[in-house]
């Protein structure tokens, strides 16, 4: 969920990033005090194919996977603001149409980003961002636009699927193959008590025994009944029974209006 630094341990990559930071006026990543942290994996997931979740994309920083996201128009991606707020578009691209994290599919550059103006890096509230791509996604069995949850859908009692390429266990490697886990909605009041009042109206809570989403999955889609209901956002620990995973609540009026307005303004056929 909030993403850890994507810097590689490879010395050449470190020098390259340092050089880019020194000579670019674009925003660079930084640690943000107070942001809730997670361990960085889909826990308890299983291998899946992109044809089963063709809305899933890999959001890349310097051509390496950093977060997830979903296709909401042929030229628009929905992700988490904490995945993009510290990065200039020069460094960002999207890989779509592949089950494998770092190969296959098609890569498109990001032309514009629209982090929610009310995003709060301390509370992780309003954690959504929309990316406009430099080209159009070619729709196929491996690349499809995901429906947004209908506005009349009631909150509570839902099962959902979360997908991504987050690391498989603490300090472990990230999988090359796309992962999926089924999770279940936690009561808002119960979740709020677990997080001591930090759950806002723009957040929903999901959990399952031994299953969860984490940092490498940040920005990725939470889907129920074939429609996206959430965006992977934050939480404490991973698959910790005391703390559900927290997702940006797409059906919240403020977030939904922001997303739909940008689709109306920028989506192309």
Pairwise CA distance, residues 90 & 23, whole Å: 13
Q: Which CATH architecture has domain 42-266?
A: Beta Barrel (2.40)
Q: pLDDT: is 16 or 229 the higher one?
A: 229
Give the pLDDT band of residue 16 (cuts 50, 70, 90).
Answer: very low
Mean pLDDT across 233-247: 76
| Encoded tokens for 259 | 């997303």
Q: Which pLDDT score is estimated for 173?
A: 65
Phi, psi dihedrals of residue 145, rounded to the nearest 5°? -80, 130
Contacts of 215 (CB under 8 A, 6+ apart): 1, 2, 3, 4, 37, 38, 39, 40, 41, 166, 167
Look at strands 227-234 and 147-148 and give their pairing. Answer: parallel
- The residue among 2, 166, 137 whose CA lies nearest residue 71 is 137
Mean pLDDT across 205-232: 81
Q: pLDDT: is 174 or 137 the higher one?
A: 137
Residue 235, sorted as left (phi over 0), alpha (psi -120 to 50) or beta, turns out to be: left
Pairwise CA distance, residues 264 & 249, whole Å: 20
Mean pLDDT across 184-198: 94
When computed from its CA atoms, the radius of gyration of the chain, rounded to whole angstroms, is 17
Q: CB–CB of 44/183 below 8 Å?
A: no
Pairwise CA distance, residues 86 & 88, whole Å: 7
Active-site residues, by number, are 82, 127, 218
Whole-model pTM above 0.75? Answer: yes
Pairwise CA distance, residues 78 & 70, whole Å: 5
């Amino acid at each position: 969920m909030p993403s850890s630094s994507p810097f590689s341990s490879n010395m050449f990559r470190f020098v390259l990033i340092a050089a880019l930071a020194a000579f670019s006026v674009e925003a660079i990543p930084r640690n943000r005090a107070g942001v809730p942290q997670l361990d960085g994996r889909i826990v308890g997931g299983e291998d899946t194919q992109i044809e089963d979740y063709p809305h899933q994309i890999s959001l890349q920083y310097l051509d390496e996977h950093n977060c997830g996201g979903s296709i909401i128009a042929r030229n628009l991606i929905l992700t988490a603001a904490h995945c993009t707020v510290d990065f200039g578009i020069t460094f960002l691209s999207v890989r779509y149409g592949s089950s494998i994290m770092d190969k296959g599919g098609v890569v498109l550059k990001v032309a514009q980003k629209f982090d929610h103006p009310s995003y709060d890096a301390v509370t992780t509230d309003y954690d959504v961002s929309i990316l406009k791509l430099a080209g159009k996604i070619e729709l196929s069995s491996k690349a499809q636009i995901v429906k947004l949850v209908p506005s009349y859908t009631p909150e509570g009692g839902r099962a959902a699927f979360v997908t991504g390429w987050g690391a498989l266990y603490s300090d472990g490697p990230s999988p090359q193959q796309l992962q999926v886990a089924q999770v279940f909605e936690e009561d808002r009041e119960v979740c709020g008590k677990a997080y001591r009042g930090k759950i806002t109206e723009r957040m929903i809570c999901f959990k399952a025994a031994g299953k969860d989403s984490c940092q490498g999955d940040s920005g990725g889609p939470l889907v129920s009944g074939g429609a996206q209901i959430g965006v992977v956002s934050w939480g404490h620990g991973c698959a910790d029974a005391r703390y559900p995973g927290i997702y940006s609540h797409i059906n919240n009026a403020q977030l939904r209006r922001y997303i739909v307005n940008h689709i109306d303004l920028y989506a192309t056929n």
